Amino acid sequence: MNEVTKETYKPTSPNSKLDFASVWEYAPAPESASHAEVKNKYELFIGGKFVKPSSGNYFESTNPANGEVITEFAEASKSDVNKAVKAARKAFEGEWSSISAKERGKYLYRIARMIQERAREFAVLESMDGGKPIRESRDVDIPLVAAHFFYYAGWADKLEYAFPGQKPEAVGVCGQIIPWNFPLLMLAWKIAPALACGNTVVLKPAETTSLTALKFAELVQEAGLPDGVVNIVTGAGETGAEIVNHKDIDKIAFTGSTGVGKLIQRSLAGTDKKFTLELGGKGAMIVFEDAPIDQAVEGIINAIFFNQGHVCCAGSRLLVQEGVADTVMQKLKDRMESLIVGDPLDKNTDVGAINSQGQFETINKYLKIALDEGADVYQSTCNIPENGYFVRPTLLSNVSQSNRVVQEEIFGPVLTIQTFRTADEAIQKANNTPFGLAGGVWTDKGSKIFKVGSGLRSGVVWANTYNKFDPTSPFGGYKESGVGREGGLHGLGAYLKF
Ligand code: NAP
Ligand code: MG
């Protein structure tokens, strides 16, 4: 067992030696990456062509599990963003708007099918570039990407049925900026509804995970989508800001941190651009005494250690009813011991690599804050690789509501635990952060599910499960977790004007 104290706590560093022998030994089961083709360098995708950046600058993309450079991406500056917006405007006013809605839908169906055909390649590249376990990119991310294109393809020629009595029209050119935690899935959440409604897009993927967006650009070319309907510009935050501030963009769709979301909202104030912001979270999971405890523990493990806790709606706070707190804590520790942290391309891996050095440092900063705040820090004793960015699954107990680790988004495999006595106390604690993206409740009683579900001020509430997604269901936040909804009919309406 590994109780960490202020004296013994050392952040797991890329070069740390292993402290503990693993009890869980599995033979390696690596997914082959030989079929996944990666070029040495990727250009910008503008007007249906791959074009060099006007600055001539490129930046490297690394594999966070081993530090190896995978490829280089072009850095888009103001003039490149300008070209991309011009291409999108030309397509919006020209060929794309002359195509019937039914034909638009066919393009989306074609893209969905092509993603399914190349699912393995996309999954491998997503895991290499971003660090998430192949089991997740293969079984969650890529199937959901295809599902979103299929779902919105179906709506393309039925918009007036989706919004009866209204005359929905495309908004125009949409600027879309996405984060690194679900790279291709966030692209699908943005591009599929935008195109279904007849818009054109300029999308910027995150700096550390642009690979699958450029592979998607190749697929768009193969699908024969008219030039300029989808434009992909890579670069850092400045490239994103150029999109946000561009005069000829009609709508901004942003997913990322609350800090950047606030900056964007400020820049958009006073303009007539439409916008949706999908921001951070600090999801609470409420476990009642009558819950099926083993299932709840499995759900909690999935809610916070899934994708290294790099999930906006992650269940990063656990609220347990007092009578079962010790049992839940012990069962969680036992289950954490069996989690395998390591090579994202190994099919046995449960917890992959932290996405970047910056995020690795942020998580370790919060672990130090936890110790300073007097929390008991417990980490699983598993082996972790010597190179790359890895953090052991971590529990923080003896924390209080006002602690920073309870209030702020850590975005890593770190779970805080608090207890409660009554449902009202649980609801009050769950709601007591600046966020309101997601929450969960575990109980045997439907009545408690409805009481807690209606009391939580969060966009999603799961009952006896967590982190389940479906393209037909809207997703979005209360409070500082965002403005607007994506997914389902709500997500369609966000790309239309009436
Ligand atoms: P981030 O730092 O806010 O970055 C998000 C995107 O914005 C990236 O493409 C980033 O580019 C770009 N960007 C940075 N500064 C910008 C600026 N001033 N103007 C315009 N764009 C700018 O967030 P992240 O660290 O990538 O992602 C993690 C965050 O996303 C977490 O807070 C998480 O909760 C949130 N998230 C929310 C949802 C949701 O649906 N609510 C879903 C997923 C993630 P660079 O990558 O080059 O910096
Ligand atoms: Mg990378």
Give the DSSP per-residue string, 308-376. Answer: GG--TT-EEEEEEEGGGHHHHHHHHHHHHHT--B--TTBTT-SB---S-HHHHHHHHHHHHHHHHTT-E
What's the pLDDT tens digit per position in 304-348?
A: 999 999 999 999 999 999 999 999 999 999 999 999 999 999 999
If DSSP states are collapsed to H, E and C, what string results for 170-198? ECCEEEEECCCCCHHHHHHHHHHHHHHCC
Q: Which of 62, 211, 255 to mutate to test the pocket of ligand 1 (most atoms within 8 A of CB)?
A: 255
Q: Is the distance from the beta carbon of residue 53 to the nearest atom of ligand 1 less than 6 Å?
A: no
Average pLDDT across the chain, whole number? 95
The reply to whether ligand 1 has any atom less than 6 angstroms from the CB of 352 is no
Q: For residue 454, count CB atoms less than 10 angstroms from its CB and return exposed for 0-12, middle for 13-18, buried for 19 or more.
A: exposed
pLDDT, tens digit (0-9, with 9 covering 90-100), for 412-422: 999 999 999 99
- Which ranges of 223-324 would DSSP assign to H, the alpha helix? 237-245, 258-268, 293-305
Q: Which residues pair with 143 in a beta bridge?
A: none
pLDDT tens-place string over residues 245-257: 999 999 999 999 9
Residues in Cβ contact with 430 at an 8 Å cutoff, skipping those fewer than 6 apart: 284, 286, 317, 319, 439, 452, 456, 458
- Quote helix, strand, coil % in the chain, to nearest 5: 40, 20, 40
Q: Is the CB of 434 under 6 A from ligand 1?
A: no
C-alpha torsion sign, points 196, 197, 199, 203: negative
Length of the chain: 498
d(CA 485, CA 491): 6
Mean pLDDT score, 370-397: 95
Q: Is 25 a catalytic residue?
A: no
Instruction: Name the closest ligand to CA 204.
Output: 1
**pLDDT value of position 6:** 77
Give the ligand with the smallest distance to the CA of 486. Answer: 1
Centroid of ligand 2 to alpha carbon of 388 (angstroms): 12
Mean pLDDT of 114-120: 98
Query: Distance from the CA of 294 to the center of ligand 2, in angstroms?
Result: 36
Residue 382: predicted pLDDT:
86
pLDDT at res. 110: 98
Judge whether residue 14 has pLDDT over 80: no
Cβ of residue 412 lying under 6 Å from some atom of ligand 1 = no
CA of 436: how far to CAs of 74, 313, 458, 496, in Å? 36, 9, 4, 26
Q: 23-76: per-residue pLDDT in tens?
A: 457 888 999 998 899 999 999 999 999 999 999 999 999 999 999 999 999 999
Q: Does residue 372 register a pLDDT over 90?
A: yes
Q: Is pLDDT of 12 > 70?
A: no
User: What is the end-to-end Cα distance of the chain in Å, rounded?
Assistant: 60
The predicted-structure confidence for 276-315, as pLDDT tens digits, reads as follows 999 999 999 999 999 999 999 999 999 999 999 999 999 9
Find the ligand nearest to 354 CA.
Answer: 2
Instruction: Compute the distance from residue 24 Cα to the ligand 1 centre, in Å.
Output: 36
Domain ranges of the chain: 3-30+281-463, 41-279+481-497
Domain 3-30+281-463 maps to which CATH number in 3.40.50.920, 3.30.530.20, 3.80.30.20, 3.40.309.10? Answer: 3.40.309.10
Distance (Å, whole) CA 24 – CA 6: 28
Residue 166 Cα to chain centre, angstroms: 33
Tell me how far apart the alpha carbons of residues 287 and 420 are, in angstroms, rounded to a whole number. Answer: 9
Give catalytic status of residue 382 as yes or no.
no
3-30+281-463 and 41-279+481-497: identical CATH topology? no
Q: What's the one-letter identity of residue 172?
A: G
Percent of the chain at pLDDT exceeding 90:
93
CATH fold, domain 41-279+481-497, is Aldehyde Dehydrogenase; Chain A, domain 1 (3.40.605)
Q: Would you say the CB of residue 241 lies under 6 angstroms from ligand 1?
A: yes
pLDDT, one tens digit per residue, over 465-493 is: 999 999 999 999 999 999 999 999 999 99
Q: Which of 93, 87, 28, 38 is nearest to 61 (CA)?
A: 38
Residue 33 in contact with ligand 1 by CB distance below 6 A: no
The catalytic residue among 121, 126, 278, 480 is 278
Confidence of residue 19 (pLDDT cuts 50, 70, 90): very low
151-167 confidence digits (pLDDT tens): 999 999 999 999 999 99
Burial class (CB in 10 A: 0-12, 13-18, 19+), 98: exposed
pLDDT at 17: 47
- What backbone phi and psi angles, to 5 degrees, belong to 31? -80, 135
> Residue 479 contacts by C-beta under 8 Å, 6 or more apart in sequence?
434, 435, 436, 457
- Would the CB of 136 count as within 6 Å of ligand 1? no
Name the residues around ion ligand 2, CB cutoff 5 A.
Answer: 61, 129, 208
